[in-house]
Amino acid sequence: MAVKTVQDLINEGVEGRHVLVRSDLNVPLSDGNITDPGRIEASLPTLRALLEAGARVIVAAHLGRPKGEPNPNFSLAPVAEALSERLDMYVPLAADVTGEDAHERSNGLNDGDILLLENVRFDPRETSKDDAEREEFAAELAALTADNGAFVSDGFGVVHRAQASVYDVAKKLPHYAGGLVETELDVLKKVSEDPAQPYAVVLGGSKVSDKLGVIEALAPKVDKLIIGGGMCFTFLAAQGYEVGGSLLQEDMIDTCKDLLERFGDVIALPTDVVVASEFSKDAEHRTVDLKSIPAGWMGLDIGPESVTAFAEILAGAKTIFWNGPMGVFEFENFAGGTKGVAQAIIDATSHGAFSVVGGGDSAAAVRTLGLDEDGFSHISTGGGASLEFLEGKQLPGVSVLDD
């Protein structure tokens, strides 16, 4: 691919130019406070580079799913505040996306200034299935950059979406890959095209259906595919175990049987689980082997025996990709599996393994559980994007940058 980078743009000269940057600032909030600023931190290098080079930076981003209309619960106001603190400069928030306030503020930018547009998903055209509607919105975004603008795609967490601020706007302006997108793609190419062997993949999360594509793509390539989280119970049911009230996709049992027949020597499943009487952080719970899951009880984590077995696999790996928690890590009583496997990945990394945390809940778990982020080779900002890349799918927000 012949993709120009943000450094190419800076080399061309950005003083006096408006540069529209699509960042991924979709951070989790609790009572209006940001609980995990990871994506904000990841966006800073590209923004700083442009600002220091004299660009007039306009940042477009989304937060949550406001359903195509303004909603104060999904305002980017907390993000503007966090950016102001980290960039050590005032980051104003436009009152709209492409309206009068956004135009006035973008016209008033000086070299080295920055503006954050309000949530692009406040406009229904951002995610419209109608090409003409998306293009119309993209044209309005491009118009904010005046006559000599440029577009930098730096929101890796959204490049798998053909949305107006990700895909269509790149067709309307000279376009470049931001530093974050560059890094993410380089890392994922390393684990997908030429991984050092042995190669171990750890998949968790709730549904087999969400991970089926990546299982099919990776199982023939890896030495071990460790499966935990809620999705493991559909595999266990396929092996004939009674899984009680655990999360179960009955329509996927035959699919899991087929996967086990084809890749049984590669797939590693738990041998014990932590079960609970109900889905609650204070629920009565116990660790049981697979034959002893009580009727009506639900598995909410993998057990310590499984953690030990998985850790032994990971200790011998040279490349590790992890996407999805091993249990309900948000509840302390059911966080042991995720924490144990994550620590095993950190230990393997310290002995030379190349490890990638595939974004999403896995990245959130690393921070929530107080694990050392520097203990992993790379923590992705895009769970869905990283999985689709490994499946071999084309990412619209990347392919559109190809000249």
Round to whole Å and give the CA distance between 120 and 102.
Answer: 12
Are 223 and 249 in contact, with CB atoms under 8 Å apart? no
Are 21 and 65 in contact, with CB atoms under 8 Å apart? no
39 catalytic? Reply is yes
4 catalytic? Reply is no
Has 56 been labeled as part of a binding site? no
Has 305 been labeled as part of a binding site? no
Closest C-alpha among 303, 309, 315 to residue 348: 315
Has 26 been labeled as part of a binding site? yes
Has 144 been labeled as part of a binding site? no
Half-sphere exposure of 65 (CA within 13 A, CB side): 0
Round to whole Å and give the CA distance between 34 and 86.
Answer: 14
Has 39 been labeled as part of a binding site? yes
Has 382 been labeled as part of a binding site? no
Q: Is the peptide bond before 66 cis (omega within 30 degrees of 0)?
A: no
Has 48 been labeled as part of a binding site? no
List, in sequence order, every residue forming a beta bridge with 58; answer none if it has no partner: 20, 115
Has 22 been labeled as part of a binding site? no
Has 17 been labeled as part of a binding site? no
As a three-state string, the secondary structure of 144-190 is CCCCCCEEEECCHHHCCCCCCCCCHHHHCCCEEECHHHHHHHHHHHH
384 catalytic? Reply is yes
- Residue of 207, 221, 367, 393 marked active site: 207
- Residue of 38, 303, 336, 360 marked active site: 360
Round to whole Å and give the CA distance between 212 and 215.
Answer: 5
Has 286 been labeled as part of a binding site? no
Count, residues in the chain: 403
Has 62 been labeled as part of a binding site? yes
Has 25 been labeled as part of a binding site? yes
- Residue of 22, 39, 172, 339 marked active site: 39
- Residue of 149, 358, 384, 397 marked active site: 384
Has 125 been labeled as part of a binding site? no
Has 211 been labeled as part of a binding site? yes
Round to whole Å and give the CA distance between 253 and 238.
Answer: 5
Which residues, 6 or more positions from 104, have their beta carbon under 8 angstroms from its beta carbon?
Answer: none
207 catalytic? Reply is yes
Active-site residue list: 39, 207, 360, 384
Residues of each annotated binding site for ATP? 211, 299, 330, 359-362
Residues of each annotated binding site? 24-26, 39, 62-65, 121, 161, 211, 299, 330, 359-362
Residues of each annotated binding site for (2R)-3-phosphoglycerate? 39, 121, 161
Residues of each annotated binding site for substrate? 24-26, 39, 62-65, 121, 161
